[in-house]
Chain A
Amino acid sequence: MTVADQSVDERVWRSRPVGAALTHGQGLAGVLILLVIAVAGIAAPLLTHYGPNEQIEGANLLGASAQHWFGTDQVNRDVFARSLHGIRINLVIVLVAVPVGAIIGSLAGLVSSINSVADVIAQRIFDVILAFPLLILAITLVAITGPGVAPVIAVIVAAEIPLFGRLVRTTVLKVRELPFVESAEVIGAGRWWVLRKHVLPNAVEPLGVQIALSMSVAVFAESAMSFLGIGVRPPDPSLGSIVAGAIPNLDANPAYAIGPLVIVSALVLSFLLIAQGLGKAHRI
């Protein structure tokens, strides 16, 4: 390793606290957007007096108005109320599925960085999962289970496992090569002690970036699956299925599509901004 390489490594590994990344610049913007949307979802009953499945007398495909912010749909439901409840389902799925996938994937990556037999098996499993484009994987899985919240979570978990597995494996192998870890091993540090004291703390930050990135993908995955009719089952509201319902009615009520589309994009963007903020933090 040359001196130049070492200085690059130092820049990569010296960290700024995660907290600072989330209270400045892009990270802050992402957190704020996410908070606004999440609060709107949680406070849905306070923000609108219509239920997500309540049919309003005589309100068929109305355009946006002060009464109905996103107008109404083809069966007289308030699209704004449905979108707010769609946020809830979306965020619950994202916040359950990504951490579960991250934990399983990281453990698999950790095991495969230690044991060579496990490594071969894990790599083949990762390869097979990665051979399926996300939505094709989703369709394959839903063919057995039928649509629903659980299959959406299962698809996201399955898609995340190889990403986290590979990330943790390469991080662990890279950190183990670093001079200070090698020196610790030379003076007799045990394998587990090195893992706990040096390797894991260094893996936390790339993991943070990946979790934020995965959450943005998961927001998309849930809404895309529901859009295709293989996600959240109607009549439960999902941002994706609302958009699917809006397509034949674009000329009658454009807000029916635009409203939920803006929310989905803002959610994806917020997680991307957080990921960028965290990514910058661990490069400074």
Chain B
Amino acid sequence: MIRYIAGRLPSAVVVLFLASILIFSVMRLVPGDPALALAGPDATPEAIAAIRHSLGLDKSIPAQYLTWIGDVLILDLGRSFVLGGQISDLVLAGLGNTAVLAGSALLLAVVLSLVLSVAVVVWPKKWLTSVVNLLNTLSVALPNFVTGVLLVLVFAVLIPVLPSGGVPPGGYLARPDITFQYLLLPSLCLALPVAAALTRFLSEALRTEMAQQYVITARAAGVPRWNLVTRSALRNALPTMLTVLGIQTGHLLGGAVLVEAIFAWPGIGQLIEQGIGRRDYPVVQVLLLLSVTIFVLIQLLTDIVHAYLDPRIRIGGQQ
């Protein structure tokens, strides 16, 4: 196991290193000189030079990169040029909101897919399978922002029962019922494609498992279908489920940008979008690196958990 992790780790580090260089160079290629913008139109050349020096922009590009990545690694993110506050405070607040949204979306997706795929396998009725397949196709075909806008239209505008966006005003813990109302639409919107992908793989895995010899024998001996699904088939389908879940969790980050824009949810996605709009590049740079790091770490974690659950992977990995 340790050998598998040791083998998998370097490639993740290399990817993160290359991605950080890419993000850093992109932000240096952005048109416009931040020192000039900060100094204002009437600044003397000396003042501009002083600002440039205080931002470290007079050093060579590799030196600037090393300073930046060094600061990021010790979580000293500096101040935002535009908003004035500490970048780390901004990022933490955004990360918290995105984590709440993504966490509830994941929970919703897992529950939905478990219920649907177990139902399809335990009661193999044709109509039920067709309904689940239809829901699946729709969730895949309807992009996040389509379902998001439709949900707002139906549940906040035509039948105004839920808020159209924003976070619960008193914080998440003040009134659980209000929090639930605010979370329901955005997390459902984010959860649907994940639930669809999970259901497709899970129901397929369960079906394969239920056709195995040991299941047929147990069925013949009178073990109820329900017990077989929950005790045996689900356990064996777990590695597949976790892999799909890991991949989908990574993609949640991209989806979150859209969902946060639709539902005015003040998370990472909205921060990135606003940062680009206000040309607040130090913030954008950190947020992009953070998104990529989370994405790569989730992939790494997925691989490791999968290898832990399925010995064939780690043995294959050592060859």
Contacts and interface: CB of A to CB of B under 8 A. Distances in A.
A250 interface: yes
A223 interface: yes
B83 interface: no
Contacts of B273: 139, 228-229
Interface residues on B, range: 35 or more
Nearest to A249: B157
B270 to A, nearest CB: 10
Contacts of A272: 137, 140-141
A86 to B, nearest CB: 14
A268 B31 CA distance: 35
Nearest to A133: B254
Nearest to A144: B29
Interface stretch (B17-25, B91-99, B206-214): B17-25
Given A220-B143, A223-B143, A257 B153 contact: yes
Nearest to B273: A228
Contacts of A269: 137, 141
B274 to A, nearest CB: 11
Contacts of B22: 128, 140
Contacts of B258: 135, 224, 227-228
B161 interface: no
Contacts of A142: 276
A132 B295 contact: yes
A124 B22 CA distance: 13
B145 A224 contact: yes
Contacts, number: 117
A144 B30 contact: yes
B150 interface: yes
A136 interface: yes
A258 interface: yes
A133 B291 CA distance: 8
A136 B253 contact: yes
A263 B143 CA distance: 12
Contacts of B296: 131
B27 interface: yes
Interface in A103-158: 124, 127-128, 131-136, 139-144, 146
Interface stretch (B8-16, B73-81, B113-121, B122-130): B8-16
Given A139-B288, A264-B143, A257 B23 contact: no
A257 B19 contact: no
A134 B254 contact: yes
A181 interface: no
B143 A139 contact: no
A243 interface: yes
Contacts of B14: 124, 127
Contacts of A228: 257-258, 261, 273
A206 interface: no
A240 interface: yes
B272 interface: yes
A139 B144 CA distance: 17
Which one of B27, B140, B254 has the greatest number of beta carbons of chain A within 10 Å? B254
